[in-house]
Each structure stands twice: as C-alpha cells, then as structure tokens.
Amino acid sequence: MIGVFDSGHGGLTVLRALVDALPGRSFVYLGDHAHAPYGNRTPEEIYGLTVAAVERLFAQGCRLVVLACNTASALALRRLQQTWLPCHHPDRRVLGVLVPMVEAITGVPWMADIPAGRHAGEPRSVAIFATRRTVQSQAYPREIGKRAPEVEVVQQACPDLARLIEEDAPEAEIRRAVRRYTASLMDKLEHGTPSAVMLGCTHYPLVAGEFAAALPAGVDVLDQPALCARSLVHYLARHPEFDDDGGAPVTFLTTGDAAKVTRLATRFFGRPAPFARSIP
C-alpha cells in the first residue's frame, strides 16, 4: 500500500491524480484535520505532526508514503529522510510534492550532478503562491536556484486561502482573496509577467480557475497533482519493491471528525470519500 498524507483535505487533489495514474494500486489517505492548518504552525510543530502521521501510515502497512502537503514537504521532509527514517525505518521511504515541481520548473532531475558555476539559461520568472510557512522555508527558491540560477522566483504567502477553501467559503470571498494575493505578487515582479505560476498548496488547484482569471492572459499555471502523479509512476518503475498490489483501492482516515470530513471530501476528491477516524 502507498500512504498519502496531508494536513487536511488538500492532499485529496493529489490522491485523485495518483489513483487515476496507478489503477489497481492500494492507497491509504490520512488527513490530520485535528491539527489543520499547518501553514501557521512552527517548524518544530510541523515536523512532529508529520512524523506522527507517517508513523500512523506505516502502522497501516504502507512502506512508501507521499507527503501531499507543501508545508510538510518544505519544512519536514529533508530532516525526516536524512535522520529519522535511517534510524527508525531504513526499509521504508517518504516522498514529497516539492521535488516534482522543482523538476518541472528547472528541467533538471532532482538527483542530477549539478556542476558549480554552470551556464545559466535565459532569465525568466516563476511565481509561487503558498502558505506562510512554505514561503518562509525558502525551500522552493533554494532548490530551484541550485538547478536553474537564471530563474527569478517570486513568492506570495496566502495566509487565509487554504482555510477558506477547506471551510467551503463563498465563491466571492475566495475570489477576492485570490485577486488580493495575485495583485500583491504582481507588484513584486521585476520582469512584469511570470513565465509560469506554481500553486504551492494542494488546496489551491480547486481554485486554479480563479488564479488564471486574476493573472495576465497566457500565464501557464502548473498542475501539481498531475506532476506528482507522473513523478510517482516513474519512481515506482525505478523501485518496483514499493509497487505493491493490495486490497481496497483507497482507505480514508482522519484525525478529526470523520462525518464532517466526509461531507466536504467529495469536492476535493471528485468522488465519494468515506472517512474513518484514525485512532493513535
């Protein structure tokens, strides 16, 4: 089984793409709704909650877990991979949504040997909308800069947007928030119009149309769920030991109120998503 983790509903957008790309595979989705949102928590809180969630998924029989949460991927994944997994679960793996996006923006494989002082390409700019903690981590500018120093990365924190989407706020309220954040980002750009936009929170694909309407015409909005699904397919082809077949196609778990979570989940997953309470 493959585990998929997010702080709330947002990761269901990634899960749907994974299920579509890998039919016949078994997934366990865990939403930490009891502690959502993560975007306003401290890095230590995010790390601790992420480790606890991964442990729960390992206990469910998952040997591979995808962090379908940009905040957890940006603030917890590297430490988890480098220190926690080798000590506690050396035979298991945890992946994140950050890597596929960086590869898509730079065109450079994550594990490529990058020579110092390599020739930069034509200057271009990439805009990133994300939670406050993802922006503060500087994970995306750091990793993009290593591989494509010619890319100007301009970030915009959207502190309330994930919450508004999670709470199914009125469309007009969400539209106003998106337009406010988009206008703020456009004011920061040195080159006028970004060559691409990355929605760096898995909630945001649900309002991708609002971002496209608020941005200049022709700006490419990257599809994070689709990119993550393609990346996982390639990973499993390289690591068939994690490519398990299993029982039920998808199991949905939450640390919060299962009935309430289930009522909102269909909008994110695009089909019925019956959640059960995850007991520690």
Q: Same domain, yes or no, for 141 and 153?
A: yes
Q: Same domain, yes or no, for 218 and 105?
A: yes
Q: Same domain, yes or no, for 211 and 229?
A: no
Q: Same domain, yes or no, for 110 and 92?
A: no
Distance CA 131, CA 128 (A): 10
Catalytic residue among 62, 87, 158, 201: 201
pLDDT tier at 118, thresholds 50, 70, 90: low
Instruction: Verify whether residue 69 is a known catalytic residue.
Output: yes
User: What average pLDDT does the structure give for the chain?
Assistant: 92
Query: 74: helix, coil or strand?
Result: helix
The pLDDT of residue 114 = 61
Residue 50 assigned to a binding site: no
Domain boundary among 195, 223, 251: 223
Tell me: the pLDDT tens digits for 224-262?
999 999 999 999 999 998 877 666 789 999 999 999 999
What total of structural domains would you count in the chain?
2
pLDDT tier at 279, thresholds 50, 70, 90: confident
Residue showing tokens 């990133």 = 128
Residue 38 assigned to a binding site: yes
Q: Same domain, yes or no, for 145 and 170?
A: yes
Tell me: the pLDDT tens digits for 45-81?
999 999 999 999 999 999 999 999 999 999 999 999 9
Q: Same domain, yes or no, for 78 and 179?
A: no
Residue 6 assigned to a binding site: yes
Q: Same domain, yes or no, for 205 and 231?
A: no
The pLDDT of residue 37 = 86
- Domain with residue 106: its CATH number is 3.40.50.1860
pLDDT tier at 110, thresholds 50, 70, 90: confident
Q: Same domain, yes or no, for 197 and 231?
A: no
- 53-to-148, 167, 215, 265 alpha-carbon distances in Å: 33, 22, 36, 19
Tell me: the pLDDT tens digits for 144-193?
999 999 999 999 999 999 989 988 899 999 999 999 999 999 999 876 78
The pLDDT of residue 111 = 72
Q: Same domain, yes or no, for 105 and 199?
A: yes
Domain boundary among 223, 247, 265: 223
Q: Same domain, yes or no, for 107 and 14?
A: no
Q: Same domain, yes or no, for 133 and 159?
A: yes
pLDDT tier at 40, thresholds 50, 70, 90: confident
Residue 7 assigned to a binding site: yes
Q: Same domain, yes or no, for 187 and 253?
A: no
Distance CA 71, CA 67 (A): 9
**DSSP letter, residue 205:** G
Domain that holds residue 32: 2-97+225-277
Catalytic residue among 69, 87, 158, 228: 69
Residue 71 assigned to a binding site: yes
Domain boundary among 183, 201, 223: 223
